[in-house]
Structures are given as structure tokens and as C-alpha cells.
Amino acid sequence: MKRTKWVTSIAIVITGVTALAAAEPGYDRVTGRPHASRSEVIAPHGMVATSQPLATQIALDILKAGGSAVDAAIAANAALGLMEPTGSGIGGDLFAIVWDAEKKELVGLNASGRSPEAMTLEYFQENGIESVPPFGPLPVSVPGTVDGWFQLHGRYGRLDMKEILAPAIAYARDGFPVSEVIAYYLTLNAARIGQYPGFRETFMPDGRVPRKGEIFRNPRLAATYELIANKGRDEFYKGEIAKSIDAYMAEQGGLLTYADLAAHESEWVTPVSTNYRGWDVYELPPNGQGIAALQILNVLEGYDIAAMGFGTAEYIHTFVEAKKLAFEDRAKYYADMEFVDVPVGTLISKHYADERRSLIDPTKASDRLPAGDAKLEDGDTIYLTVADAAGNMVSLIQSNYRGMGSGMTPGELGFVLQDRAELFALDAGHANVVAGRKRPFHTIIPAFVMKDGEPLMSFGVMGGSMQPQGHAQIVVNMIDFGMNLQEAGDAARINHTGSSQPTGSIMVDGGVVHLESSFSDATRKALEAMGHTLGDSDGGFGGYQAIMWDKQQGVYYGASEARKDGQAAGY
């Protein structure tokens, strides 16, 4: 694939758009493109993009030591569980898409955990519980991350797990300086889950969370990582770690048990895709929400998005309405495919998109939209991507949900358990209804792009229900608006909230459109005139990392999120 056609030759793509975009604040008056926060990073041998500079450096060191892209991704993920516990950790789940350069195949891993066996609809009905609570012992599902690490490592790893986890263990024991972003989110999380046993001892050793620039140590997590490094995956699911989790959950009145942990296993899956103007965009099938991005793109493909212009009310309206359509299907159909027959092929088909597109009024915001007849919003996450000298690429996303998760911080282990079971519905007729040993609907999604049968881009946009919206916007920014890898992530984002949810809630009065601050007042007034309700311009717009392969030059391009602490670096 000649990168010049798709990335650098933007003049053709934006002809006729420049005049519209140049008037927007934060845009170059000559090109009409948004100002990038930084240049793309370019390197020949390998590339890493994570949400924390120290994690990026750890992953680079692993690559330089002969590790694979997967080795480096695991090392970075372990570091982020320590350094960015507000969005990740081994108490949560993991999904990944891997490009195997030797076999020339794209594979997916669903390392999300299932509900406890005792978590049945009858349990909630008998106890008079109308919805799964967001915090405490009840929303805890099996953490899948550690098994995900070992599944990936067993298939693609080169270095020993002891070497891979050594940097994170050292930082956990010796300490690292907390960034301003993480200090802020630690404060928020402490306010809502700091009362649960184990949290203060782990994350507030001096009676408060660490402040910006202070050195934070987590010796408990260091010891846990050492056990995993020395004894392997089973130590977490069948060994002393599992026993500690079991005892803690029993004390707190939770449903998760040792038997639930021991029964866990990840699943290798085949990524699914749609073609958007020549790019094959890949996501993982449900129980995640990745195919929503594909549905959005399919609807948008029927419009001349480039002619609308970035930042215009016409484009934003069209995007929001396409998102509403996809999310109504998301609410109705997306669930654990071991329990229900999700009509993925129909949902991501072009014919289905043509039918759904007809429901969009080009001049008026919709208040209600039906889910299609396919025949049968809060979340902090980390996303990282790594590419190595052999051409392997990893797109990996990992999260506890709701920031640090449930608040359940077991024993001396140094991490918080996730609260993903909150996303189950308690309606007996719903595809996502709670059941024992079932995977809940999931928000975290990695993405990958192929072109002409070759790997092109590994990317992700973390952040709850923003994620499929962000994935679609990145692709549109690059293809329709001619942005480069960094610009596509820096460009102001759209986040529509209030769609119907897989938990059973219904969209009311069209939801709310949140626009980042650089969108103009004229655009906002035009959207309101169409009937859209506008919300806050701060927060909730996700975090982006990406790597692009330039086959012609034999180099990687890297980009990272300017809204957080992200860093892309290569060698």
C-alpha cells in the first residue's frame, strides 16, 4: 500500500472542504486541517504507543532485548496496571487483535471473564435487586487479563515471562512518579470506592492518594506479579492468589468463588470486518461492542462525507444519527455468543446498512429510533499497540470498568477487581440477561485495518461507549478528511450519549451530543436548530493510540493521545 495515496496526499480529499474548515478555531487556514499536537513518530524497526511514557519505554526495552510485539505489549500492560490503575489492572479483562507476520493471518483473543456461577437472574429477583450495582461485591466477574497474557505469550512470546514482568515488578517495588492525570483520577476513584477494605492500604498508604510528582510504590502488586512470573498463569486462577480472592469475596458477601476462577479460560476468535472506501476495518465479535463501529461506518459510506467538511453541522448530524442506529442494535442484540445467536453477519452487512440509513432525516435529529429487524457510558480503560521488526502488530485493550473497578481490593494482592457484571440486563427476555458463567456485554474494543490483504494500522480509542464512535471517527478523519495518523487522533471529537443500553434502558429525547471545544458556535447553533441537545465539551472523549505500517518505505508511524499522558516511540 502506497501511503502517499491515503495519508499524505490530502489536497485531493479536501478540495472544496478547506473553506468550510478554515473558519473553525484550531484549524490551519491554508490546509483546513486541524493542528496536530505533535508530529507523527517514525521508526524502521519497531513502534510502541501507550498511554504512559514509562510503559512505552518498558515496551521498547523489551523489543530491543529481542522480545516480540506480544512480549512488549504484556510488559507495557503490566506497567500500566501499576502506573495507571485508574484504567487498568489484572483485576480486569483484556481483548487483543494480533497480526502474525509469519503466517500472514489476523487473529483475535477474547480474554474477558464470565460471571460467577451463582450470579443468576433468580438471585437478583429473590433479593429484590432491580439492577446490578456499580460498586461493591455483586458486580465482580472473573478477571480475564492474566489468562489473556499467557494465551498471547504461549502463541507469540519469545522472552520468558520473568523477563517480561521484571520492569513492572521493579517499578512497583521502587516506585514511580505519579502524573497529573493519574493523580486526578485516583482522587475521583478514592471518593467513590475508597471505603472498601484493602483500597486505602494499597492506594492511600499515607492516608491519601499520591499527588502529582510524588513517588508511589505498590509492594503488594510487586509480590503478586512475582508470583505470576515465577509460577505462571495457574497461580492466579488456581493457586494462592485465587484462594486470597475467594476468601476476600466471601468476607464481602460477593458471588465470585475459587471455582469460578479455576474454570476460566479465554477464547481465540476470528475478527470481523467491513470495507470502508477501500480500508478493511476489523473488530472483534460480541460480547464486545466493536461491530457498532462497523455498523456506523457502513451507514456513513452512503454519504459524501468529504464534501460535507470536517466540523460542519451536516457531518456531525449525519454521524450522530448513524451512531444512534448502531447503538439501538447494540442494545438489543450484542451479548455473549455462547448464550445467544447474535446475527453479526446481518448487522455488519451493506444491505442492512442501506435499510437502516433510510431512517435518517438529513435535517432533523431523531428522538427515538427502533433497533433493526436482524432476525435473530462510563468507563476508563487503557489501550496500547506494539509493532516489532518482524512485522508483527498487536492491538490490545484492557480495563477494570468504571475507572478502578468495583472497589473490591483483595487481601495483600495490590489490585482492584473489575465490576463488569454491572452491564448485565435483569430482563428475562433480553439477549444480555444475567446468567451464571456468562460473559457480560463489554465496552472495550481493539481495532485493526488491512488494505489489499496487507496490515495497515493498529489503533484504539478507549473510553466506554465513546469507543466505537471514536473508532469510526478516526477512520473517517483519515479517509474522508485526509488527516495523518496524529491529526486523526487530535481532531476534535463527537460523543453522543443517551442511546438505549444493553442493560435495558431506552434512549430518551434523542440523547445528548457532546462536542469538544474547538467546534464553532455556528456549528453548535445549527445542530440545536436541527433538534439536537448539546452537552458538556469537557471529558468523555476517550484516549487514542495508533501504529501505521508504511510498506513502501518500510517504516512504522506512531501516534498517541494528546488528551492524556500518552507517548508513541520507536527505534
50 as an active site residue: the answer is no
Cα-only R_g, the chain:
22
Q: What's the N-to-C CA distance of the chain in angstroms?
A: 22
Out of 56, 120, 312, 381, the active site residue is: 381
The DSSP result for 178-243, as a single string, is PPHHHHHHHHHHHHHHTTSTTHHHHH-TTSSPPPTT-EE--HHHHHHHHHHHHH-HHHHHTSHHHH
Rounded CA separation 165/139 (Å):
29
Residue 159 backbone phi and psi in degrees, to 5 = -90, 160
Amino acid, res. 6: W
Cβ contact 204:189 at 8 Å: no
The three cell numbers locating residue 323: 451512531
Nearest-angstrom CA–CA distance, 332 and 314: 28
Asked whether the CA dihedral 61, 65, 66, 68 is positive or negative, the reply is negative
Tell me which residue of 110, 152, 97 sits closest to 457, measured CA to CA: 97
Q: Is 124 strand, coil or helix?
A: helix
* Beta-carbon count within 10 A of 538 CB: 9
CB 443 within 8 A of CB 289: yes
448, 457 Cβ separation under 8 angstroms: yes
Residue 21 CB contacts under 8 Å (≥ 6 apart), including other chains: 14, 27, 32, 33, 309, 310, 311
* Catalytic positions: 381
